[in-house]
Amino acid sequence: VTVEVLDRLELLALVDFRDAEGVERLRRAVRFAERLREVNTEGVEPMASVLEDRCLYLREDDVTEGNCTKELLRNAREKVEEYFVAPPGNIPLPTLEERDTVLKGA
């Protein structure tokens, strides 16, 4: 796994791979995913969801308690309008150099 791929995986998965434990977790995940190549998918159409053949009904989104938006947003390190911003900002990720060092040592 290159440092660039690791950088992208961290951003997508929000997982920190900068220590040996994180790198081992990534290795286990890759080994697990490799097993999927053994599955014969010939003639199987790609799906957007396993539920795409079902009609899903949306429930009414009625607020029954709370009304504490301002109080909750005080916990946000960064916000835009009435929304939390995450990541980047809430989860510090290592630099490319730090990740390269971990990969070489693992």
pLDDT at 62 over 70: yes
pLDDT higher at 106 or 76 = 76
Cα(16)–Cα(28) distance, integer angstroms: 15
- Any domain includes 92: yes
pLDDT at 102 over 90: no
Handedness of CA 57, 60, 63, 65 (dihedral sign): negative
- Any domain includes 85: yes
Contact 85, 79 (CB under 8 A): yes
Total of domains in the chain: 1
Which residue from 100, 96, 99, 79 is spatially nearest to 17, judged by alpha carbons?
99
- The mean pLDDT of the chain is 79
- Any domain includes 45: no
- Any domain includes 82: yes
- Any domain includes 9: yes
For 19-52, what is each residue's pLDDT tens digit? Answer: 788 778 888 888 998 998 899 999 988 888 888 8
Q: Taking residues 63-79, report their average pLDDT.
A: 84
| pLDDT on residue 90 | 46
- Any domain includes 101: yes
Contact 99, 16 (CB under 8 A): no
**pLDDT exceeding 90 applies to what percent of the chain?**
8
- Any domain includes 46: no
Give the domain range for residue 81.
3-39+66-105
pLDDT higher at 89 or 33 = 33
- Any domain includes 55: no
